[in-house]
Structure formats: C-alpha cells, structure tokens
Structure 1
C-alpha cells in the first residue's frame, strides 16, 4: 500500500563527494547544542543534498530522534505566518480535528517530553523573512526539544544561527595538474562511471573543461554527466552555450524563486549553461514536455503527466516516453518509495521549466488542463470510498494534495473555473480525505473559499448548497456548534429557495441530486450531536439518517449510503436505550455490508459502531474482542481519527465490563482487589485515550453523546479504583502514540514467527483452529481426530511455540492469520 510521504525524508543521496569536512562540521553543530543551522549558497550548489545527507546520518545514528522534512517550496513568496505554520504542521504528522491554530498544534507536538525533533526547512530563500520569524518564535516557544536545519541562499538572520556557506566543488584551473584531488572532477567521473562510461585520460581533460565551465556546481555537473548516455564528451563541450544572466520570474505558487527579498539572486552562469546545453540537445517532444512539467506542484506520476502535458500535437504515450528520457538526463527525479514510481523536478530545474511555461502562449491552456485533470481525478477518488481501494486511494490523494491545492488556487482566479475548483473540494470531502489526513480546518477552508468564489452562480446553486452542508458537518466535528449552526441556516435557506424556484444554473446540474441526501445527513448529525434547549436529543435523527441513506443509494452514491447508515447505527447505540435488539441488528447488518464491500476504513468504523451497540445493549465481552481485533488491524494504517475513537470505545467497553463484573459480585466482595486492579489498569486506558485525543485536538465538548459516554465511563472507573486513579490516568497520558494504541493488546512474542514456520502442518491446523477459540471437540470434528488426541496435540503445539496457555493462541489470532496467509 502506498504510504504518506509528507514530512518524510526524500531518498538518501547516493553520492556526497568533496563534502566530508563540511558535513562533519554540520553534524558537530547539531550534536553540540546548536538550535538552528543554515546552509547557504547559490542555486545548484548542493545545499539540499548536504542537508539530506545530514538528516539521514542523524536518523541512522540517533534512532530516537524524529526527523521531519518541510518543503518550503510549496509556499508562495507572499505566504503569511499561518501558511508557513500549516506547511510545518503537515510535515510533522500532527493531525488536527479541532480548530486550534496550526502554531499551537506545532508547539504542542514539539513540546512532548520524550520526543526530540530535527526539523529540516528546505529552500527558504523566497520566504526568508517568514522563515526567520517562524524559527525565532519556535525556538522561543520550544526551548529544548527541537533543532532546525535550514537551506537558503542567504542566512535567516536568527539569534544564535550557525551559518555554513556551501561552496561549489573545487575544480582544476587550466594550469592545474589533473593528478590532484579535484572533487568536481571526481563527481563527474563517478557519474560517468555509474553510466558505464569510465573516463579515459583524454576524456578527463575534457571533463575538467566542463566542470570548470560550470564553476564546480554539483547540479550542473550531474546534468552534464547524464548527457553521456547520448553524446560524447567532445559533443557536450562543443554544444556549450553561455547565456546571459537572467532573473527567474516569481509568478506561480510553489516556485523556488530566485528573488528572495530584493530579487538580487541570479541564476549562476554554470547552472544555466548546463541546463541550456542539455535542453538544446533534447528533441522537439522532450523539450515541449520539459517546458510543461513545471505546472505540477510537488510531483506527478506517468499517467498524470501523460494526460496533463499532452495536446493535439503530443499524445500521452509520447509524453510518458519523454519523461523517462528526461529521467535518464537527470532533469527529472524518480522516486520509487511509497509503492510506485513518482517523479518531480529539482527546484532549480523547475525554475527554468516555469520560465518556459510563462513564455509559452499555451500557458493558460496548460493550467486549465491541469485543473481539469485533477477535477476528474478527485471525482474518481470521491467515488471509491466504501470499496477495497479506499485506503490506497486515500494515500494516493494525500500525495497529490499539492496538485489539488494548486488546481483549486488557479480555479479561484478564473470565474469560469471556480465551479471546478469547488468540485475538487467536494470530491475530496466525499472521499473523507480531510478526516483521514487530519486536515479538517483546511478542508472546511477550501469548501468555504470555493463557495465564496462561486457567488456569481447564485445562492441556490446545488454545488454551493452541498459544499456549505459539508462545511457545516466539519464544523460540527470540530466542536464548533455555533459556526455549524450558522452554516446550517445558510444551506437550509438556499435549499428552500431551490425547492421553490428551481436550482440556480439549471435542472441538469450533476450536483442537484446530491443536495437532499447531503442536507439530510448533516441535519441528522445536528440532531444527534447537539441537544435541544431542554437538554434532550432528537431521536428523529435515526430516521433522518436512514432517509438520507436511501436517497444516497438511489443516486448510486454508495459512500454516502455508508456514512448515513453508519451514523444511524451510532445514533441508535447512543440514544435507543429501550430497543437493544434493533440497535444490534442495525450495526451488525451495516458491518456485514462493509465487509462485503471490502473497504478497510469503512470496516473499522462499522466495527466501532457494532462494538458500542454490543457493549451497551448486548454482550460487552464480544465488544471487547471486536475492538481488540480492530486495533490490531489498524496498526499499519495511518488513520489518527479512527485510532483516537478506537481508544475511547475500548475504554468505554472496558468500563462497561467492569460495571457488569461489579454487579455480579456479592456485597462482601464488591471492593475486591482484582476488581480494583482492573479499574486502575483501565485508568491507563483512560489516560491513553485522552493523550490521543489531545494529540489530534478532538473536542469532546461539542460532541454531546460522545462526551456523555466518556463521562459515564470515567465515573465507573473512578468509583472502583479510588484515589489511585489519578496516577494511573497520568501514566496513560505519558504514553506515545503507538503505546497508547496498543495498550492492553497482547504482543507477538519474540521469535514467534520463526517458531511458527517450524511447526508441523497438522499442528499449524490445530493451532489455527484453537486461535479461533474453538473447543477440542470442534477442532477434532474439523480434523477428524478425537478430543483426547487434540488435547495432546495442543500441549505439543504450545510447547513448540513457547506459549504457556491456550488463551495466548486466541490473543495471537490475527498474527497467526497473517502468518498463514
């Protein structure tokens, strides 16, 4: 499955020549207590490569250090503090489901006592002032747990900043002997050797001329060396063209601007020469594709490039072949991490590509194709929720978020494209992307920006009604009840006007059919989560959810049906205390439907709903087993929203079991030690759930039924545990994310997988059935052996697996299922 790579380190660099002394000095700064280290130097000199090498070295040699990489190129030169904060928050993997400012999320994350973070801010030159202000504020707010490593073409100017100037690699002058150690020449030779072209003595002379002509700039050397696949060294030298210096324009968001504060930084001659030389050796198709690739923000894959960069003169296959050729020439970077081939331009190269886009008469058509492609992609993504592909699609969409945002930004600048920009925000909301990624605030902002940009379409336009309803739903989940109500009043009034006078924009609008189910769903959510003035919740929310589910199914929106049915089950679990059979049936049928659909995330939430109904209306023991299995299934899924609620439901279920055990005891044993120990242990689960909730900023105060369930469970546990509950809860709060998630879940014993592989096939079969909690008689029936024989085989199985009790096999059921495929 592709994994999210936002904030993760790019691939480790393979070559670092001539930088040993500088790299050692940078590491000494970081290990010696420096709070901020800035690598400065001209474009193409290797600042990013050196920072990346340092970051990987720190990760390898300091395993407990958290290293996060922030691509500052995603920001425009006029970015405000909030935009800088959001870029850093996204890289920190600090999801937020409330409405706290990104700055608070960043500082809360970095202040965690057991965590030390190296924050790498790459390419700050176009926002030096903003980056400087951010770093200065950060070091004042988090005095110990964070160190900043930045790259920029000029220092940030922070107090205590250690600046290391990255110079071009030393190269031989015309009068110098080539027998000495010249890192620039060594790099060229290493690149040539990697291409299967070791340099002869005569070629070293020409290579020396080339590295000298580019002033020893590593990026220029890499570009020139890549041409050896197609040209001789003499041809490369003879094709050298010296261009005059030109400032790079700063028009597009995400451009690694050469302007800085005063636009005084110029593209180095050597880098421009290498790029121009390589560019002029491209064929016509490759040039046109290269000109257009700068439109992508963050990256692209081959199908995307094929669709966006093709036109009546270039078909998609030609574009794809050209991209592959550009990879060979080191003009495009390929990254195979995350489960697929993805591509991007190095920032100095993208500067040149953007120059070409800006000079191109077809620029507007290119930007429109980019927007239209990502509208279509968002629509396809939105329709895949509640399917086996949903988790993979969510991760792909997360990787494409930079392109989605760039497309929406461009759409907001063109009135006739504003509806397309809003469609992207709606489709990502249908995918539940904002929830999965922990970006509720950003999702709501994109929806409302899109509504504002489409004001000319009319208040009763179906798309604007749907978007406003979705924004109201997000505000509810953030605990912002007043804002949710204000937005609710807006979309209800717009729907009334649409019902009376018809929709603005005509009856054939594709979103017209989605208005009713969207409005019904959010109306049901308001009734479920917000009590009336008398403090009573409206039981009619369940029927409203079911009507919304029916309407969603009628228009073929299976994802909408799933959400509405899920919340009907949740509402029933919370509010239908006098109809336990109906509650359990509703959530069980929904879980069955999710399992048949194969959507991993949908299954998780179906299990949560069913566990709640079992805990409060049937058998808490079944609920406990279901939650434990779900936590194990969620271990490798990057879903902070689901894990947070799993932790809470696990605590609620545990409290319900505790209350049942207490009721089963006589008055003389009600205060027994085992019961109290269980309550104290549940205190850690209480604290762990609180820790997860705080980490992602979930506000229970605005989620009435959830708050009541938490308060009820806390009261049960506190009454039985007594004064010791405070220290237990405090201990749970100190757990990190994974510890909190796995609290109370049996862990796989060390070496278990190896011992399992050595188990005879017949004993594996017995163990697998025993892990399903089957009796000896049931196992014997399956394998055609007597219960007594099964008992003997079970003893042998436990001994060979290094286990003591049969229950340990049950606890390892998921592990065993994974091992048996």
Structure 2
C-alpha cells in the first residue's frame, strides 16, 4: 500500500499557488531539467531569495512523475540534527521500528518506492541533512531529493542551482501584486515605473525584501517607501560591510520593517520568534502579554504584524494559526538576545506547551479527543522546542519527564514512539532518582521500549519503577507497573497476563481512574479469551471498556474495544459480529488517523475473510495490512501472532502459494484510498485515474516502446527488439516525450512504473 494514510499522507505538495511565485519560469524549467538527470538537486541562495517557494512550486508541477508522490519535510522546525531522520520518518507516516534507528527505517521504507523527497531549509542542520540525503541516494534507487539550503550539501552527484534574485521587471511585478492586494488603487493614475524599478533595484530583487516593502503601501506611496529605504540603507548596512551585499540588503529590509513597527509590535515580533513552526492566538497571548502588553491587545498586534508581512496566516481550517519566515524568526530571536528577554520568553513558551500536554492528557478520554489530536499534531514542532529547552536548562529537565510521557496515546497514534523514547531517555538521564514523575516516565519509557523488543531493558526499567512505587507507598504507581508487565506478557506470550491485567484494572477502578483502566481492560479481555477459552469473560471486560469510552465521547479506545471484540468473535463466536466490530473500528481509526490501529483492524478483517472462505480477499487484505505493519515499524507475528499465523496458513492452503502471493502483492500495491475502500468493502469511484487518462494518449507502438525504455533499453536495443530502424525508434521517442510533456527518458520510465502500479491496484 503506497502513500500515507489520513494525516500521514506522503504526498504533501501544496495544492494552492505558492505566494510570491513571480518570474521564476526559467528557474522552474531548469530545476525540472536537473531533476530529470540527477537524483539530488539543491537550490541555494541567501535567505529571502525564494528557494522554498521555487521548490514547492516545482514539486507540485512534477508530482505526477512520481508514482509514490512528493514528501515535503520542513527542517526549520527542528534544531537538533539527531531529529532529522525522525522528522522525515514522521512525514512518511512511519512508526519507530524495533531495533532500527529512524534513518535506517526511512531507507527501508523508501527502498522500493519512487517519490520526490523535498528537504527544505537544510542550512542549520547541514551535516545531518547531507548524511541522510547520501544514505537515501545510496539505498533507494528510485528516490529523487530536492533540497533548499543557504549552502550546498556536498554530497556526491549533487546538482547545485543558485537561485538568483528576481530581474527588475519581475521584481516590480511582484511589488505591484503584493501592494495591489493591500491597496487596490495604489497605482491608479500614477506613472511610477521608474520609481518602482529603482525601489526594487535597491532591494536587489529579493522577494522577501520586496514583500516587506510592499506591506508599507497602506501608509506610504511607492516614492515615500523609496525615500525612506534609500536613506536607511546606508545607515543600516554600515558596520556589516564584510557580509555579502544581498545579505546586507535583506538585513536592511528587515531592519527597516522592524523600525516601522510600533514598539508593541516590535515586542510581539521578538517574542513570537520563540515559536517553532506555527502557533495560535492563545499561545501567542500567553507568551507575549505582560505588564506592558495587555492580553486583549495581542490580537490587534498580531493583526498589525500580518499586515506588515512579518507573520503569515496559515491556510488550515479551524483555529487560525500564524507562522514566521525563518529569516524573520532569526531576527526576532536576535532582538530577544539584545533585550536579555530570551530565557524568560522561552520559559513561558515551555510552560504553555507543558500545560497544553497536561490538558490533553486530562481530556483525552472525552469528546475533545479529536481536537487534541489535531492540536498536538499542529504544535508538535513547538513541543520539540519546549522539550529541548527544558533539557538544555539547568534544573528544568524534570518538566520534560511528564511532557514526553503523556498523553502516551498521542505519541503512539502519530507513530512517534521512537521519538518519545528518545526524549524520555534524555530526561531520565538528566533528573534525580527521587523526582516525583520518574516512576511514570520509567513506565512509559518501558512501554515504548516494548515495541523495540528489548525485554532485558524493559525488566530493568519496571523493576526501578516498582521499587519507587513501594518506597513511596504509591498504589497507583504500582498499578502502572503492573499494566506494562501485563501488556509485555500478552505480546511475548509469557504467562500471567490475565492476572496482572485484572489486578491493574482493580487498582485503577478503586481510584476512579477511568483513562488508566481502559487499556488494561483490553489486555484482560483478549488474553482471557485466548488463554482460557472464556469468551463470556472477555466480552464482559471489552463491553465495560467500550461503554466507559463511549460514554465520554472517546474514539481511540472505542476502536480498540471493538477490535478486541472482533478478535474474540472471529475465534469463538459470531463471524458477522466480528466483521461489524472490525469495520466500525476501522472507521473510527480513519477519524483519528490511527495507523497503528488500522494495521490491527485490517489484519483482523483478513482473518474474517479467511473464516468466510473468501480467500482471495483475505490474501489481498493481508497485503494491505502488511504495508501498514511495515509502516508502523513492527510485524504481525509480534503484534497478533497466533491468529495471524493461523489464518495466513489457512489462506495459503486454500488458494496455493502463487495465488496468495499475487493477491498479497496486489494489496500492497493499492493506494491508501483504494486500500481503505477495499477493506471496508466499498466500490471504487467511476472516474479513471490520472495514469489511465494519460495512457490513451499514446499509440500501441508508443506504449510498447515506453515499456522498453522503462526496462533500460537504448534506442539501438529497442530497434533490435522490435526489428525496426533506430531512426524510427528515435521518432517514436520524440512523439512520446511530446505527448506526455516530458523532457527525458527517465521521466518516461517513471511514468511507466506508475501506470503499472495503478493497474496492479485495480486487480
């Protein structure tokens, strides 16, 4: 199964026209040409020259050439080079895999795929970015990398394309577009081409500098903007003559924009630079408001910075979110350093997101669960920044223990168990043994480690957590240890899981901890069914779990309870009830974006199909599940060993190895949308795919030649194969390139592979 699922989609190319894409037709064509002949293309240039805009536009234009889509990874949101591979893995929708570092998992996932990987803003993580790019190029022959950076990556085979400033004519056009969007009558009846040309020349054609200047059109005419810019440039670039002139110009433009802000706007600019990625108004108010800036004034000040192009309004639906370009963010942080306010503001930032995580955990089992999934996902870059700050500041690491531990469901659902484990490991190493949150952190660290398969380390972690619980006479803490022990028992097939889960449920129930009781109820229900053959006891635990979750509006644990019911019924009860439960669980997973849950549900639907003697369908579902298991970093033999092995064997025996492998491969080849429809038993849409639409463009002979090109044959080889002249082959190749709108043979090969994938998906 290719691509991503729900909010883990691999194809992340923007669908809307990028802001500021003016005058880049030539550069765009050159990037496309380089992508046709090289597997690593790096766009370089100073901040504000438009590298990201060019890269995202080109990625959108060439997306159809890559069967597995485009993955955009914005590296500006991380500051730790060790997290580069984790961020790429997260963008691919991968969960941490047992025993493998994130980089290795990325390589394994991409090895047989054909996609464009866009690494944006590499300069501050240049070594880590170069290392990952080199590994991808070496291990994944059909992956193409497009990077943006203020310097080249220095990787063998890299094609570097410096992105130049805009020519004056295009710079003027950009200024007119931006200024006209603010004040439509800004140029009515005015012959200001000479003024605009000089203004844009002063700004060296840098798109960011031009947009900052255009934002002043509300209060100044173009001539007035030029007058002020001309006088200020000489002043503001003095003392920086060792810097390249374009960097001086951008710096001057930012300095000028900063000086044109009110004092309060300047303060908010500096303070909001502490955010990583995007942020909302509530977070900004917490960080920015103080004795000098009233909380009620923050919105107006944010609005002023939006008007001045210092902040950008995000396009996502729901709550408005704001973002700052990296150059402006760096500038704002410099201002925080100048005023000595950086530490205080960073602490406020950490406190806000620490509180956010705490509220999310408190309200996880509620009708606000989806909101928290979306909120934490939107703020994940800020969570990383808050955790990093806590671990870098003396005496603050304790706050990281709880931030990285809860809500544990978020880390698992987003496929970030490996990252959570990393943060917890760092926090545990940096905090004293008697910290009050250490026991919980040890249990959560053990839970994430459980997925890595390190049983010896799990035992040590839980022994330490249990000793702390006994020392503090903390029964709830002891219950958390028993919970992880019971889960480890059921996953590894060791005895005692039923009794441990029952004891855990009793402790949490006695303390009224509904959230904590839910997963142990699942463990008890499934384990008692399979160990004791007691479906009645299993149904009772799973019914309580479902009812507790449903009463509170929870989706995550409702889906898990339904999955538990399906596993019980498929072995001991009503196969129709099993199918209904598994299907409903999958629909809930789609709402929360839980890929881990989806792997379990689809595998269960395969068992059900096998029980119904629908063996072709079962094999296809096993293929769909196989791709999901791979993505979440585990195997069905580990996660659902006995029933998976049993029903896989039955399916193979029923249809034979050849038919099983064909159906299994067809399931793996399905796109995410097709895979979901197949699992739910829904019909495919009537409209043809893009690949099918293009297929009809070529004649039968051209299609045949395109297929031979994809096999690596030269024109001479094709001529010999088809017993025609090389000249005829050359003519056909030119016709193919023209009809498909391609520039080289490599693009033809990519298209053929994508077309084959589409056909497999329709089996």
Q: Same fold per TM (> 0.5)?
A: yes
Give 1:653 shift.
3.2
Deviations 1:421-461 (A, max 9, x none): 222112232xx111111111111121222222212xxx243
Residue 445 of structure 2 corresponds to 471
Give 1:478 shift.
3.3
1:589 aligns with 2:540: no
Residue 680 of structure 2 corresponds to 745
Give 1:73 shift.
2.0
* Mapped contact 1:118–1:147 kept (Cα < 8 A): yes
Residue 220 of structure 1 corresponds to 209
- Residues 751 and 24 from structure 1, CA distance in 2 versus in 1: closer, same or farther, beyond 3 angstroms? closer
Residue 757 of structure 1 corresponds to none
Give 1:147 shift.
1.0
1:207 aligns with 2:196: yes
1:118 aligns with 2:77: no
Residue 690 of structure 2 corresponds to none
> What is the alpha-carbon distance in structure 2 between the residues aligned to residue 247 and residue 435 of structure 1?
49
> What is the alpha-carbon distance in structure 1 between the residues aligned to residue 9 and residue 356 of structure 2?
20
* Mapped contact 2:11–2:69 kept (Cα < 8 A): no
Give 1:594 shift.
2.3
* Mapped contact 2:504–2:520 kept (Cα < 8 A): yes
> What is the alpha-carbon distance in structure 2 between the residues aligned to residue 635 and residue 433 of structure 1?
15
1:270 aligns with 2:249: yes
Give 1:94 shift.
2.5
1:619 aligns with 2:619: no
Residue 710 of structure 2 corresponds to none
- Residues 125 and 576 from structure 1, CA distance in 2 versus in 1: closer, same or farther, beyond 3 angstroms? same
Residue 365 of structure 2 corresponds to 386
1:70 aligns with 2:73: yes
Give 1:331 shift.
0.8
Residue 621 of structure 2 corresponds to 685
1:571 aligns with 2:527: yes
Larger mean CA deviation between 393-402 and 133-142 belongs to 133-142
Deviations 1:566-614 (A, max 9, x none): 332232333231x322222322232233222221222211110111222
- Residues 748 and 686 from structure 1, CA distance in 2 versus in 1: closer, same or farther, beyond 3 angstroms? closer
- Residues 197 and 95 from structure 1, CA distance in 2 versus in 1: closer, same or farther, beyond 3 angstroms? farther
**1:456-605 superposed matches below 5 A:** 459-499=433-473, 514-532=476-494, 536-551=495-510, 553-554=511-512, 557-577=513-533, 579-605=534-560
* Mapped contact 1:7–1:93 kept (Cα < 8 A): no
- Residues 735 and 234 from structure 1, CA distance in 2 versus in 1: closer, same or farther, beyond 3 angstroms? closer
Deviations 1:756-781 (A, max 9, x none): xxxxxxxxxxxxxxxxxxxxxxxxxx
Residue 175 of structure 1 corresponds to none
1:337 aligns with 2:316: yes
Q: SS state of the match for residue 462, structure 1?
A: coil
**1:149-160 superposed matches below 5 A:** 149-160=146-157
In the alignment, which of 53, 59, 67 is matched to residue 55 of structure 1? 59
Give 1:139 shift.
1.1
* Mapped contact 1:68–1:117 kept (Cα < 8 A): yes
- Residues 245 and 571 from structure 1, CA distance in 2 versus in 1: closer, same or farther, beyond 3 angstroms? farther
Q: SS state of the match for residue 69, structure 2?
A: strand
> What is the alpha-carbon distance in structure 1 between the residues aligned to residue 328 and residue 685 of structure 2?
49
> What is the alpha-carbon distance in structure 1 between the residues aligned to residue 208 and residue 656 of structure 2?
66
Residue 709 of structure 1 corresponds to 643
In the alignment, which of 165, 168, 172 is matched to residue 168 of structure 1? 165
> What is the alpha-carbon distance in structure 2 between the residues aligned to residue 602 and residue 194 of structure 1?
48
- Residues 46 and 297 from structure 1, CA distance in 2 versus in 1: closer, same or farther, beyond 3 angstroms? same
Provide structure 2 residue ranges, at least 5 long, that are not aligned to the other structure.
1-5, 688-763
TM-score w.r.t. the length of structure 1 is 0.77
Q: SS state of the match for residue 160, structure 2?
A: strand
Residue 762 of structure 1 corresponds to none
* Mapped contact 1:691–1:735 kept (Cα < 8 A): no
Q: SS state of the match for residue 365, structure 2?
A: coil
Q: SS state of the match for residue 68, structure 1?
A: strand
1:244 aligns with 2:248: no
TM-score w.r.t. the length of structure 2 is 0.83
Which has the larger share of helix? 2
> What is the alpha-carbon distance in structure 2 between the residues aligned to residue 5 and residue 301 of structure 1?
23
* Mapped contact 1:476–1:702 kept (Cα < 8 A): no
Residue 425 of structure 1 corresponds to 404
Residue 109 of structure 1 corresponds to 109
1:451 aligns with 2:428: yes
Give 1:338 shift.
4.6
Give 1:5 shift.
8.5
Question: What is the total number of aligned residue pairs between the two structures?
Answer: 675
In terms of Rg, which structure is larger?
A: 1
* Mapped contact 1:334–1:341 kept (Cα < 8 A): yes
1:630 aligns with 2:585: yes
Deviations 1:144-197 (A, max 9, x none): x211111122222333322222111223xxxxxxxxxx2122211222222214
Residue 763 of structure 1 corresponds to none
Give 1:741 shift.
4.0
> What is the alpha-carbon distance in structure 1 between the residues aligned to residue 240 and residue 477 of structure 2?
50
**1:288-299 superposed matches below 5 A:** 288-299=267-278
Q: SS state of the match for residue 541, structure 1?
A: helix
* Mapped contact 2:623–2:663 kept (Cα < 8 A): yes
> What is the alpha-carbon distance in structure 2 between the residues aligned to residue 497 and residue 436 of structure 1?
33
Give 1:376 shift.
0.7
* Mapped contact 1:37–1:149 kept (Cα < 8 A): yes
Q: SS state of the match for residue 268, structure 1?
A: helix
Larger mean CA deviation between 405-414 and 742-751 belongs to 742-751
Q: SS state of the match for residue 422, structure 1?
A: helix
1:697 aligns with 2:620: no
> What is the alpha-carbon distance in structure 2 between the residues aligned to residue 65 and residue 591 of structure 1?
37
- Residues 730 and 652 from structure 1, CA distance in 2 versus in 1: closer, same or farther, beyond 3 angstroms? same
> What is the alpha-carbon distance in structure 1 between the residues aligned to residue 529 and residue 339 of structure 2?
60
Residue 233 of structure 1 corresponds to 222
* Mapped contact 1:466–1:514 kept (Cα < 8 A): no
Q: SS state of the match for residue 539, structure 1?
A: helix
Deviations 1:462-505 (A, max 9, x none): 31011101111222233332221121122122223323xxxxxx
Give 1:272 shift.
1.7
* Mapped contact 1:480–1:702 kept (Cα < 8 A): no
Q: SS state of the match for residue 144, structure 2?
A: strand
Larger mean CA deviation between 94-103 and 197-206 belongs to 197-206
Give 1:722 shift.
4.3
- Residues 216 and 266 from structure 1, CA distance in 2 versus in 1: closer, same or farther, beyond 3 angstroms? closer
Give 1:518 shift.
1.8
> What is the alpha-carbon distance in structure 2 between the residues aligned to residue 580 and residue 185 of structure 1?
74
Residue 186 of structure 2 corresponds to 198
Q: What is the CA RMSD across the aligned residues, in angstroms?
A: 2.8
Residue 401 of structure 1 corresponds to 380
> What is the alpha-carbon distance in structure 2 between the residues aligned to residue 617 and residue 155 of structure 1?
61
> What is the alpha-carbon distance in structure 2 between the residues aligned to residue 749 and residue 691 of structure 1?
20
> What is the alpha-carbon distance in structure 2 between the residues aligned to residue 108 and residue 94 of structure 1?
11
- Residues 563 and 312 from structure 1, CA distance in 2 versus in 1: closer, same or farther, beyond 3 angstroms? farther
Give 1:65 shift.
4.9
